[in-house]
Structure 1
Amino acid sequence: MVCPGARFAVYLAITTLLNPGDEIIVIEPAWPAYKDCALNAGIKVRTIKTTLETKWEPSIDQINNAINENTKMIVLNYPNNPTGKILPEKLLDSIMQTAKEHDLYVLSDEIYEDYYSGPGNVEGEWPKEILTYGYEKSIITKSFSKSFAMTGFRIGYTITEPSIIEKMSKLQALSLTNVSEPIQYAALQVINSPFEAVQENAEIIETRLEILVKIAKDIGLEFIEPDGAMYLFAKTKYKNFDATKFSEKLLEHGVAIAPGEGFGDYKEFFRITAIDETKLKEGMIILDTVLKESYE
């Protein structure tokens, strides 16, 4: 089903499949919209905190401990925003098996699927997709914003069982009638274009990420190298570092980063986006300078 962006697809899935009092599991750090959509619908959110030390991987024990009689859905987002993490295949297998055993919906947000600089599982292999499990309670959301650089066009889509599509489509029709036809034709045009354009875009992001990782290492930031996506989620060596206050100070110098507390309980972390190479290098110089001036 075509939607006005993957965000609305996430909203539709959570709102139409769950009821007030139900619970969902969100693995953090996570894009804040998952929690926001659930809370807006009266749904309780149970978060699983992953850490730098565990390479941003949840354990099956953590997931099992979060499940109770009210749990109805688990949200996955890999490659992850903000860490760029891709789960090892065996861990993903275990999560899907757990979801089946507890009859949970699996909402898999895969908008960064084409940005893979892995290995997320085995060298040279593409990360395993949720669709390959053939689980009928899976809902996959995808977007044109990242793979096709169509941010602002607001078009995405969801892949799931017809019975689930029927529920989601009713609310979408009630909310907005239809997705803009000209935008749909634009999306159709890029789908039918050679895939080399997507590959070229992904290669540009991968090169930027490599540059970002090198600079971040040189200035002493602490992080796990991303497997994919277009971000670096890092912290500094300084004690009592507050990324929110630091981001506000950086803004005064014309540099924007995303504070980690927007993605969960990660006050000491911040997200850096792999932007244009020249601006990226300039921004990282400013970041390093302001960091040293503030904490040394």
Structure 2
Amino acid sequence: MVQIETFAVEAWMDAHENNCTHNIAETCCASISIDQLRELSEDKSSREIFQTSEPLTYGAIRGSDELRNSLSRLYSAKGTPLPAENILSTPGAIQANYLCAYALVGNSDHVICHFPTYQSLYEIPKQLGASVSLWKASAEGKWIPSISDLKSLVQPNTKLIIINNPNNPTGAVLGKPFLQQVIDVAAENDIAILCDEVYRPIFHSINPLDSDFPPSLLSMGYKKAIVTGSMSKAYALAGIRVGWIASRDPEIVEKIAEARHYTTISVSQLDERVAAYALHPNTIHSLLARNIQLAKTNLELLQKFIIKNEDECEWVKPLAGTTAFVKFYREGKAVDSTDFCKKLVEKTGVLFVPGNECFGEDFKGYVRIGFVNHTEIVKDGLSKVTQFLRKELDNVRLAE
């Protein structure tokens, strides 16, 4: 039987997210409705998202032409065109990442995974029998891991390097020169790279003209690069459960497509139509502008909160994505972040994610804050957290 570890962050959200009043743990840009999506579209004609007269068959097995063509445009915008057939749709990015591991690694293989990150990225390869080395980043290094550490982790049987860019939970960005160094290490050892890009392109604190600004890994010329994405985070449409896998290597795509037959068959026609509508040139620019502006507005609120409470907390300001990793103290000592988060939601209704419980024991005192919810929720929630720090922090246990 497969040994399955508790998926800590999802278990935490399952236990608390429907019982809080201010969810500042959610990692999606504030979700929108179909009606709001229509309002954002430049197409004001009677173009329908759903064709209600069509039979609801399995549809296109690898993903609808409309959806894959829209994604192909995105990945082809600033580089070599990516054929639509090099893209596979999946039920969310979590399934996309699972399929990549399921198709590419086994019990004689070794995997290197960027850390901290979303737990499934390193737990699934373990469940499949691979050995996994965590490529650790720290706040002292602005959450950017060391290339020399990466080189030291490579083994003769290393099959896959997994990175998450922009990063969950830190909001850090692996810049273009850094990505090239990762590619150089991978190419020298014939290793595939999987980049989870679900928070791309929510770049709120780094300029596209910056020399460090990261393109998609698919745009950097490495054939054995694989990326995954989703409509959930950057596109505010978690409820349609649409993700994807893309690679410039047809052999990798075919291998994953074969594995996909055992797990997916196809993605809901209705969900893919909503995704294609959102990614259409008539809609995508307004949708992303809305979400990036929301991130910028709310990040200012979070920064003011950090400054106001600088004796109790610190951070490395995130550059992209929807999350920040903040460390809380009492009298200079890290708090027990699980106790902190439990007392916070009980006393105030505000939900954070405890870093030590959900991202690893390395992160005592840390909490993940998802700051791209509706602005009033974030503003009111952070005000309640300030009150909690003034009145209740003395009752929070310290980290052991």
Give the TM-score normalised by structure 1: 0.94
Asked if residue 284 in structure 1 is aligned to residue 382 in structure 2, the reply is yes
Alignment partner of 1:248 is 2:342: yes
2:301 maps to which residue? 211
Deviating more after overlay: 256-265 vs 55-64: 256-265
Quick one: structure 1 residues 57 and 122, their matched pair in 2 at CA, closer, same or farther if it must change by over 3 Å?
farther
Q: Cα offset for 1:287?
A: 2.1
**Are residue 117 (structure 1) and residue 204 (structure 2) matched?**
yes
Q: Say if 1:115 and 1:271 are closer, same or farther in 2 by CA, change over 3 A.
A: same
Separation of aligned partners in 2, 1:16 and 1:90:
29
- Residue in 2 that maps onto 1:171: 259
Q: Per the alignment, do residues 252 and 40 of structure 1 end up closer, same or farther by CA in structure 2, a change over 3 Å counting?
A: same
Amino acid at match of 2:325: F
CA contact (8 A) 2:90 2:264 kept: no
User: Is the 1:6–1:143 Cα contact (8 Å) retained in structure 2?
Assistant: yes
CA distance in 2, matches of 1:68, 1:48: 13
1:268 maps onto 2:365 in alignment? yes
Q: Which deviations, in whole Å up to 9, do the C-alpha atoms of 1:99-131 show, x marking residues without a partner?
A: 111111100011111210232786387422211
Check conservation: 1:209, 1:230, Cα contact below 8 A. no
CA contact (8 A) 2:334 2:364 kept: no
1:229 maps to 2:321: yes
1:295 alignment partner AA: D
Q: Structure 2 CA distance, aligned partners of 1:203 and 1:214? A: 17
Residue matched to 2:40:
none
The structure-2 alpha-carbon separation of the partners of 1:148 and 1:119, relative to structure 1 and needing over 3 Å to count, comes to: closer
The answer as to whether partners of 1:115 and 1:206 remain within 8 angstroms in 2 is no
Q: Deviations over 1:53-88 (max 9, x none)?
A: 110111111111111122111111111111111123
CA contact (8 A) 1:19 1:42 kept: yes
1:186, distance to aligned residue in structure 2 (A): 1.3
Cα displacement string for residues 208-235 of structure 1 (whole angstroms, at most 9, x for unaligned residues): 1221122122111211111010111010
SS of 1:111 mapped into structure 2 = coil
Are 1:295 and 2:394 matched, yes or no? yes
In 2, distance between residues paired with 1:228 and 1:144?
Answer: 17
**TM-score w.r.t. length of structure 2:** 0.70
Q: Secondary structure at 1:117's aligned position in 2?
A: coil
Read off the aligned partner of 2:152 and give its amino acid letter.
N
Question: For the residues of structure 2 that align with 1:290 and 1:21, how far apart are their CA atoms?
Answer: 50
Aligned counterpart, 1:257 = 352
Equivalent in 33, 56, 65 of residue 120 of structure 2:
33
Q: Of the candidates 162, 167, 170, which is equivalent to residue 75 of structure 1?
A: 162
Q: 1:12, 1:120 → 2: CA distance?
A: 33
SS in 2 for 1:236: strand
User: Aligned residues, how many?
Assistant: 296
Q: SS of the residue aligned with 1:73?
A: strand
- Same amino acid, percent of matched pairs: 31
Indicate the RMSD between aligned Cα atoms, in angstroms: 1.8
Distance 2:175 2:277 in 1: 34
The answer to whether structure 1 residue 199 and structure 2 residue 289 are counterparts is: yes
Correspondence for 2:85: none
- In structure 1, stretches of 5+ residues that fail to align are none
Assess if the C-alpha contact under 8 Å between 2:176 and 2:213 holds in 1.
no
Contact between 1:250 and 1:290, CA under 8 Å: does it hold in 2? yes
